[in-house]
Amino acid sequence: MTMTQTPLPGKVHLVGGGPGDPELLTLKAARLLATADVVVHDNLVSAAVLAYARPDAERIYVGKKAGNHSLPQIDINRLLVTLARQGKQVVRLKGGDPYIFGRGGEEAETLAAAGIPFDVVPGVTAAAGAAAYAGIPLTHRDHAQSCFLVTGHLQDESCNLDWPTLARPGQTLVIYMGLTSLPEISRQLIAHGMDPATPAACVRRATLPDQEVITGSIADLDGRVRAAGFKPPAILIIGNVVTLHEVLGLPSP
């Protein structure tokens, strides 16, 4: 009598693809991409990074854009479990870092609950990449002794963030996915005590050859961004460190 064997579970690698420049991909991420059976990738993963995938690997796009999710998060979680149970080596490739506004924690919880082996490969998060390539140190002894990373992808109009803390001087505020909410973000920060003249920057296409940076103040940045026709995705950097962009914002080698 021949017994049907159940395939051994595969493994899911939650991999940070970095902010865009393929040379910022970690060695481990590149190795896993080169050997994975399936790559489940996001919208923010650059084509140059995706090119590291094994040529015959299955590629599944599950990207999210504002108001347009190709696959709901709960279905992405289930997809990862299904692929692993088929015995496949899966790279879940995300822009930036999986555990910094990448929903990697939610996916890891699902995998752990299902008994699926997984690991996490950190990536250069957008805040670090955008700031470095724009010549804006996130911390600096003369300008900022702390740095806050927050999401501007607000679930409702109440903008339920800790505005008094975020509006304090002497720190750097980095806002992911905040371009659409920039008018409300500016209003709330100023209303909670931030000096309207506080320097601010918007970085688009971070770390890529066509990266664009607009600087201004927290009071006028939205108008400057609109005049330039900036569209998401982009990242906001707020604080006195932005003044260093004019000195340090040199082309990367």
Give the domain ranges of the chain: 11-121, 126-248
- 210 noted as active-site residue: no
Q: For residue 9, is the peptide bond before it cis, meaning its omega torsion is within 30 degrees of 0? A: no
Q: Is the pLDDT of residue 65 over 90?
A: no
Which CATH code is given to the segment(s) 11-121? 3.40.1010.10
E strand spans, the chain: 11-16, 38-41, 58-61, 64-65, 68-69, 89-94, 118-121, 147-151, 172-176, 199-204, 212-217, 234-238
Q: Is the pLDDT of residue 100 over 90?
A: yes
Catalytic residue among 28, 37, 64, 195: 64
- Which residue type occupies 206? A
Catalytic residue among 21, 42, 97, 222: 42
- 64 noted as active-site residue: yes
* Topology, domain 126-248: 3.30.950
- For residue 67, the model assigns a pLDDT of 55
Residue whose C-alpha is closest to residue 64's, from 37, 95, 89: 95
- For residue 253, the model assigns a pLDDT of 40
- Which residue type occupies 190? I
- For residue 134, the model assigns a pLDDT of 96
pTM for the model stands at 0.91
Give the whole-number percent of the chain exceeding pLDDT 70.
Answer: 91
Residue whose C-alpha is closest to residue 80's, from 32, 9, 16, 27: 9
pLDDT digits (tens, 9 = 90+) for 127-173: 999 999 999 999 999 999 999 999 987 655 556 789 999 999 999 99
